[in-house]
Amino acid sequence: EAKHSGRNGLQVYQDSMEHQSKERLIFEMNLMQGLHEGQFQLYYQPQIDLHTKKVVGMEALIRWHHHEHGLISPADFIPLAEITGHIVPLGEWVIQEAAHQLKEWNAMGFRGLTVSVNISPRQFQQGNLPEVIQEAITQTDIEPSSLIIEITESLAMENQERIMKQMDAIRNLGCCIAIDDFGSGYSSLRYLQHFPIQSLKIDRRFVENIHSNQKDAAIASTMINLGKSLELTVVAEGIEEMEQLKTLRKMNCHQVQGYFISRPLPVQDITTWMEQYSL
Ligand code: C2E
Ligand code: MG
Ligand code: MG
Ligand code: MG
């Protein structure tokens, strides 16, 4: 039962999800209720260009203010939302919200900024992702290329005609596509070969020890060069220390993102941060 779980009851929902329809029903009700009641919030984490040192983008990262469980991180509910299919309405909300936020930042004078949203494989398979994105762009009148769709490598993405078509449609809207957690997943190189992508986000596991471990540095450097030779924008994730940033700059990595720059923060806080930022 949920009472015996560690961090919060949702962990148990997840384990039993496919077997116990009661738990699943409660989760689904909670999630839909949460969506209607505005319990979801986007946090934003900045991305910095290593050459110009400017803030070039913000990644939107969802949080759930649950009435019982408090602040829940996406790792604890996105997988569940994928199983139940609720990721589709949730994902629509994320896209709408992020597009509106970018419009607001543009109006405040933050120009040339991109906003990245994370999209699960399931959202490509179900629903009408290109139409949802199109509508958000039309409503907000943002530059399509300033909206970046991040997709995580996964087995579910392999060779699926529908997913490829959706990606092409998204590209045709003028939006950009990034491969998230690059290197950590199932079939990285095939993705580079087949997907219409513009950027690569190197998983933080490959960045962690680049300043202290030669082997790790060699791998990271090779990944960066691979991305660059394919004319992709290369972003390193999970920068926590100055030394990592310095090493990545030497390796000519384009952009960095991580706690060293800023943790993901709510709109108000990240806007203040942006106004005061200098590297
Ligand atoms: P991600 O897209 O790879 O996002 C990066 C994660 O690493 C975020 O965790 C972020 O807070 C964390 N992070 C950033 N910098 C650092 C650092 O320097 N050190 C460490 N240790 N961690 C860092 P978060 O926000 O908990 O999100 C986890 C994952 O949940 C995301 O990984 C993404 O795959 C998924 N996710 C988040 N928001 C959404 C969403 O709106 N829709 C979907 N489908 N998935 C989402
Ligand atoms: Mg991401
Ligand atoms: Mg990532
Ligand atoms: Mg991830």
ipTM of this predicted structure: 0.98
Can you tell me the distance from the alpha carbon of 64 to that of 74, in angstroms, rounded to the nearest whole number?
A: 8
**Residue 245 in contact with ligand 1 by CB distance below 6 A:** no
Q: Which residues of the chain have pLDDT under 50?
A: 1-6
Q: How far is the CA of 236 from the centre of ligand 4 (A)?
A: 13
- pLDDT reported for residue 226: 95
- pLDDT reported for residue 11: 56
**Residue 120 in contact with ligand 1 by CB distance below 6 A:** yes
Q: How far is the CA of 7 from the centre of ligand 2 (A)?
A: 23
- pLDDT reported for residue 121: 83
- For the CA of 123, the closest atom of ligand 1 is 44
- pLDDT reported for residue 2: 36
pLDDT in tens, 64-76: 999 888 999 999 9
| Residue ranges of E strands in the chain | 40-49, 55-66, 70-72, 114-119, 147-152, 176-182, 199-202, 233-236, 255-256, 265-266
Q: How far is the CA of 119 from the centre of ligand 2 (A)?
A: 8
Can you tell me the distance from the alpha carbon of 176 to that of 42, in angstroms, rounded to the nearest whole number?
A: 20
- pLDDT reported for residue 216: 95
- pLDDT reported for residue 23: 81
pTM tops 0.90: yes
- pLDDT reported for residue 83: 87
**Residue 147 in contact with ligand 1 by CB distance below 6 A:** no
**Average per-residue pLDDT for the chain:** 90
**Residue 152 in contact with ligand 1 by CB distance below 6 A:** yes
Q: By alpha-carbon position, which residue is closest to atom 17 of ligand 1?
A: 238
Amino acid at 165: K
